[in-house]
Each structure stands twice: as structure tokens, then as C-alpha cells.
Structure 1
Amino acid sequence: MSETSKRDRRWALVLGTEGRELTAEEKGMSDALGKLYDHGRGQRKLGGGNGAPRVSTWLSDIRTFFPASVVEVVQADALNKLGLRAMLNEPGILDNLEPDLELVTTLAEMSSLIPEDLKAKARQVVQTVVDDIEKRIRQSTEASVRGALDRAARTRRPRHVSDIDFDRTIRANLGNYSPELGTVIPEKLVGYRRRNTGIEKEVVLAIDQSGSMAESIIYSSVFAAVLGSIRSLKTSLVAFDTEIADLTDRLADPVDVIFGTQLGGGTDINRAVAYCSGLITSPTDSVFILISDLYENGVRSELLSRMHELKERGVIAIVLLALSDSGAPAYDKDLAAELRAMDIPAFACTPDLFPELFAAAVAGDDLAAFVDHSREED
């Protein structure tokens, strides 16, 4: 596009696009700006329902159509025009709001613009939703992890009598009952390896910070906090776009994690995987979970090589295209297919299914069968 055409388009967006034939991109830009600035012109305003702004899609749109300098100005205007400041500052308003994932993702996306004096109240809203999610998933996650660690510790060659699981051994040998001896002949022993009292598994979660992953970031933050509280696991949490933020030291407070992410921007998955690989010290006892839509702006061939290397080292590697109730967003189907060809599962996962998935990975179960089963249920 020539400089003259660019200038004409800018003026059209400022003065109005009536009577002008627009390209799809220009229409998208005009609609995104109109939702914020076209008050009183019959345009649909940005905002909605119960006083909570419904702006996640709009935030993604302005990041798509405009450079960072413009996005910053528009978001700052939105903070005031959408009434976020008033909602957070008005006495009693938090009691009347119904905090939900959409409001939380909005606050997370605009966290850098929320004034310091209002951040405490924004945290209250986020904390309410985080607490609800944690109640929903903590018990099932902890129980799944305990069961998975027990399964992972089983062995057919217990070294000592005290390591034998007599109940399971008897059941495994019921077909070997000897009437003459009046007992079961234990041809197969089932027992446990001597378990450590410390770390048994390393877990590394890498979360893509692109705008489409907002809901996944909320759920991932809470799951990471729950996993981080389990003493048998060494859990690391990394958020990334083109830069990398190691949020492991914030695991105790998922609200801190949520406000520590910066949604939007480019995506360098290859760089993130390289960083996460360096965190793994015991590959055969490690699970690496990459949560991303796989739209890679880094070096694609290197990313595939790094994922292959992790698998060759014995790491259980999983790619979640989304960790959300709303299903998978748009994602790079070709890259997902290449990962699956390497026997690395790549699929969307609901929060309710995640504990079962994670347990299967920890126990060394057949993940391919798990993924196929989960798809059949869907």
C-alpha cells in the first residue's frame, strides 16, 4: 500500500467511513474503533450485560489491527469510557457484580493500565473467580496425582517382602490356585519400588500469552498453584510471547500469576521450549505441558527439533491447544499434526478432564489411548 493510500485510510478512520468502500481489514479496523468512539451515532457500544464489560474479542481485534503505540492509547481510553474505573471505585459495586471468567480475562488483559489505587479492588474480583475454580479442581487434582504416583511406583519385582502389595498380588494370581497346597502360587508379584520422601516428578508448564489464550491462562494459573502445593512434585510455570517470564516464584498465589502475564504480542514458542528444557533435571521423571495455539513466529524447524529432543530424553511432552471450557481456539493445524506424528499429543482439554490427563502422564499410561477416549466422549 502506498503512503498516500495509508494516509487516506487513516483520515477515513478518523472522519468516518460512510460512502467509502472498505476492504475486510479496513472494516475490521473501523468496527473496532467504532465500538469505543462512535457514541451517539447508532453504533453498538462496547460493553454489556451485568455491568461487566464484554471486551475480550475487541481487545484481540485492536491488537490485530493496530501497532502497540496505538493499542496503548486506545486501551487507556477504554479504561475510562467502559466504566471500569467507576465499577472498581464505586462503594458496594463489587458486591453487586457477578465475577466471571470474561471479567477476569478483561482485567488481566488491561492490568498494565489499571491505576495502582484500583488494583487491590481488581484483585478482589479476580480472587473470587480463582477461589471458585480452585474449589472445583483441587480435590480431583490432588487425588489424581496421588493415585498416579502410586501407579508409577508399582513394580513386578519388589526387592523386599515389605514392598509386596499382597492384595494385588493375590488378585493377580487367582488363576494359579493349587488345591493340593490349598493356596495361590504367586507367579506374579505386585509391589512398590522404594519411594522417596521428597520430589518424585518434575512438572513444567509453559503458557502462551497470545490474546486467544486468555481463558487458558486463568485455568493454567490455578492448576499450577495446586500442583505447586503438592510436595511430591517440583512444579515450574513459564509464560511467554516473544519474551519469557518465569512465574514459578508466584505459584503460591495464582492471582499474582494472572496479573504477571501480559496478554498479546508475538509468539516465540521455540525460545520458550528451549528455556523450559533447561529447567528439567530428571528427564525420565518429568512432564512438560505446552499450552499454546501453536502459531509460531520463531523458528519452526528448531521448535520441532526441541520437542523431539525432549521426547528422546524421556520427558513426557503434551501440547494443549487450549485449557478451557470453551474449546480450542483457532490453531496451527499443520504444526499440531507434525507434533502428533512425533507421538506428542496435541489437543484441547477441558479443566474437568485435566486432572485425569495429568495423572495419566505422571503414571506413564498410554496417552494416545487417553486422547482418543477423550475425543470419543466429546
Structure 2
Amino acid sequence: MTDAGLERWRLILGEPSAEGLGGLSGAAAERDAALDWLYGRDEELARRDIRREGGPGRSQLSTVDWLDGITRLFPKETVERLQRDAVERYEINDIVTDPAVLERVEPNPALLRAVLRTKHLMNPEVLRLARRLVEAVVRDLIARLAEDVRHSFAGARARRSSRFKQARNFDARRTIRANLGRYNPEEQRIYVETPYFLSRTRRHLAPWQVILLVDQSGSMLPSVIHSAVTAACLWGLPGVKTHLVAFDTEVVDLTEDVSDPVELLMKTQLGGGTDIARAVRFAAQLVEQPRRTIIAVVSDFFEGGSTTDLVRTVRNLVEQGTIVLGLAALDEQADPAYDRECAQKLADVGASVGAMTPGELAAFVAERVGR
């Protein structure tokens, strides 16, 4: 088969389409075998009598062979999608629990999530390898978010003169106004005798507290990851005192580990029930200056505790001047799934409810702190 379009359809449809589209050979046949190893186990397709059977069959491939093969046969974006489906859709856990496999995988967010879900299954050797994977992904996330944070908290230009003549600080308005007397109407030019420049200064940052309350339930895993990264990027900024608190039915203050998000994530215990009210009461005890505090509750708002207690506590915080954010998602997609009834009750008593990317949260904090 030489037609690229037909080959693509043949790879999508598998062996049942061979009669109409023809067979595969060489690298295309290897791709077909790799796809069948993964998607040939789809029970939903089997129930509908749709079988993707191709190549030598999945039984002839080990997980290590499969990973080596897809890395060689497919582009990086496709490899990441196949790995994500393997660990999240088909729960092929040996991708992140087998040392031989871990040494071959390319770190990406899907594998980070898989490690955090399965780390309790790992022996010390595997956990050491998995930690390297976590470090690589977290390092990349921090590098990307740190740029947004630096931009949000960048110093503003002061409206006073500077003797340091740098192009980025050129005060065009004052320079034009001061040299208007040297305007030549025939040439339509202003001849500048004295240029003016602005000095730069950092904003005056009054002290603020930012308290991140993070739901540890399994569905919130992407938000748990990005909350840890966000807290690390906010940690140590002038005028910002950051807290990170994780909760399910219990509440754990993780603030002492904020500067090491890898260690923090490796300590995270996913699953269990959810008692948001208890977590918000804990956060209320941390508040030092109510009107200088932001409490961000990162949760799907499926409350396992008392909704009445939760609403009452949030109302009290808002009435004392604390900013309460209810974030149904804090990740790069900001695509939430949450209990809208509970979220609406919190909005009715003054909380701001929605979803944010980490960069948007950093900008929100910077806007408040810079006032």
C-alpha cells in the first residue's frame, strides 16, 4: 500500500479493513501491531462486535517492546497520546511501576498523573525512578508558570526622571513636550535636544495571604498538580505569604513543603471522601488580616460534609472582607466538572466561583497585591 490516505484509514480500522484497503508491510505493519496491542483490548468495541485485529497481535509484544516501538514509529504528539490512553484508559500500570519500562518513557503530564495514582504500588527502586519522572514534568510546569508570575508581578515604571539612559525606559511623551519648540513644520520633524527617561521601581506590595485549599479526590488530580506548582511559584514573592492545604475528610497543612513541589506531590494521598467545610474552617483559622487574604478553594464541590456549615463559613469569611475563590478547576485546560448546586450556594453568599489556569490565578493575585 503506497497511498498515504488509504494507509491512514487502514491503521485506524485495523485488520477487518484489509480486504477493501489492502495489507500493510514494513513500518506500517509495525504501527498496526502497536495500535492493536493497545486498542485491541477495548471491551466496548468487543461488546459491539467491532474488533481491531492487525499485525502479529498484541500477545507478541511486551510493554517494553511496545514503548520502544511507538517511540520509533510515531511522532512525539502521538506517542504521548498512546501513553496517556495506556495508563488512563486501559490502566496498564506497569508503564509506571516496572523499572525497565520507566527507564524508557519520556516524561509527560499523563505519566505524572499515573505515577501519583500508583505510587503506593511501587517498591523503593521503582519509586526512585518514578520520582525522576515527576521532577522532570514539574520542572517544565514551573518554568512555564514562573514566566507568567514574573510578568504579573513585574515592576511598574515610576513617573519620575532617571539619569540612566536606556531605550526601554525612554519617556516619549515628556521628550516630545519638552522639545516642541524645535519642531520644523517643513520637514515635519522635532529635533530633540534633551531626551528624558523614566526610572523603574517595584510596586509597593502590602502583605497579603494566599491560602490554597486543594481537594485530594481522584477527579481533582490535575488541579492538585497545578496547585502545588502555583504555590511554589508564589512562594517567597514580596508581599505574598502562601499556604497550601490539602484535604479529603482530613486536613493536612503542606505549607512547609511548598518550596519543593516534587516532595509535596509524592506525599499527596489521593482518594477518600470530601469535607470541604472542615477545610474552609481550618483556613479561616490561618487568616491574619481578613482584608488582605485570598482563600482559593480548589474542589469539585461534591460536599461529603455539611453544605450548610460550608456556606455559613464562607459567608462569614466574605463578610469580614476575605476574598474567597471557588475554583472548580486549576489547570491548563480550566475545564471543570463540579456540583453546580453547591457552587451556586457559595456564589450567593459572595464567593467568586469558576475555573482558572494557574497563570490566571497568578495574575488575579498580582492585581490584588499591587493595589
TM-score of the superposition, structure 1-length normalised?
A: 0.62
Whole-angstrom CA distance in 1 between matches of 2:89 and 2:159: 61
8 Å contact kept, 1:212–1:329: no
8 Å contact kept, 1:319–1:344: yes
Matched, 1:360 2:367: yes
- Which of 191, 211, 225 is matched with 1:218 structurally? 225
Whole-angstrom CA distance in 1 between matches of 2:96 and 2:88: 17
Quickly say closer, same or farther: Cα 1:298–1:58, change in 2 above 3 A.
Answer: farther
Whole-angstrom CA distance in 2 between matches of 1:325 and 1:312: 31
Whole-angstrom CA distance in 2 between matches of 1:97 and 1:296: 37
8 Å contact kept, 1:54–1:103: no
8 Å contact kept, 2:210–2:293: yes
8 Å contact kept, 1:145–1:358: no
Matched, 1:129 2:130: no
| Equivalent position SS for 2:213 | strand
| Displacement of 1:357 | 2.3
Larger Rg: 2
Quickly say closer, same or farther: Cα 1:121–1:248, change in 2 above 3 A.
Answer: same
- Where in structure 2 are the equivalents of 1:279-290 lying within 5 Å? 279-290=286-297
Matched residue type, 2:249: T
Matched residue type, 1:90: A
| Equivalent position SS for 1:322 | strand
1:85 corresponds to: 97
- Which of 203, 212, 229 is matched with 1:205 structurally? 212
Matched residue type, 1:133: L
1:299 corresponds to: 306
| Displacement of 1:120 | 1.5
Matched residue type, 1:350: T
TM-score of the superposition, structure 2-length normalised?
A: 0.63
2:330 corresponds to: 323
| Displacement of 1:142 | 3.1
Whole-angstrom CA distance in 1 between matches of 2:242 and 2:270: 22
8 Å contact kept, 2:295–2:325: yes
Whole-angstrom CA distance in 1 between matches of 2:86 and 2:322: 39
Whole-angstrom CA distance in 2 between matches of 1:268 and 1:335: 13
8 Å contact kept, 1:56–1:105: no
8 Å contact kept, 2:96–2:114: no
Matched, 1:270 2:282: no
Whole-angstrom CA distance in 2 between matches of 1:55 and 1:268: 32
When the two structures are aligned, how many residues end up with a matched partner?
266
Whole-angstrom CA distance in 1 between matches of 2:43 and 2:256: 41
- Where in structure 2 are the equivalents of 1:187-202 lying within 5 Å? 200-202=207-209
| Displacement of 1:99 | 1.4
- Which of 111, 114, 127 is matched with 2:119 structurally? 111
2:256 corresponds to: 249
| Equivalent position SS for 2:153 | helix
Whole-angstrom CA distance in 2 between matches of 1:43 and 1:265: 37
In structure 2, stretches of 5+ residues that fail to align are: 1-40, 45-50, 68-77, 162-173, 175-200
| Equivalent position SS for 1:296 | coil
8 Å contact kept, 1:34–1:43: no
Whole-angstrom CA distance in 2 between matches of 1:55 and 1:312: 48
| Displacement of 1:238 | 0.4
| Displacement of 1:244 | 1.1
8 Å contact kept, 2:298–2:329: yes
1:39 corresponds to: none
Quickly say closer, same or farther: Cα 1:133–1:84, change in 2 above 3 A.
Answer: closer
Whole-angstrom CA distance in 2 between matches of 1:297 and 1:254: 28
- Which of 133, 149, 152 is matched with 1:144 structurally? 152
Quickly say closer, same or farther: Cα 1:351–1:212, change in 2 above 3 A.
Answer: same
Matched residue type, 2:313: R
Matched residue type, 1:345: S
Root mean square deviation, CA, Å: 3.6
Quickly say closer, same or farther: Cα 1:144–1:262, change in 2 above 3 A.
Answer: same
8 Å contact kept, 2:301–2:339: yes
Whole-angstrom CA distance in 1 between matches of 2:257 and 2:108: 22
Matched, 1:346 2:356: no
In structure 1, stretches of 5+ residues that fail to align are: 1-31, 36-41, 60-74, 152-164, 169-173, 175-191, 365-378
| Equivalent position SS for 1:328 | coil
Whole-angstrom CA distance in 2 between matches of 1:267 and 1:299: 10
8 Å contact kept, 1:55–1:106: no
| Displacement of 1:232 | 2.5
Q: Deviations over 1:188-243 (max 9, x none)?
A: xxxx9x968xx711111000011111111111111101111324321110011111
| Displacement of 1:52 | 3.8
Whole-angstrom CA distance in 1 between matches of 2:357 and 2:226: 9
Quickly say closer, same or farther: Cα 1:43–1:107, change in 2 above 3 A.
Answer: farther
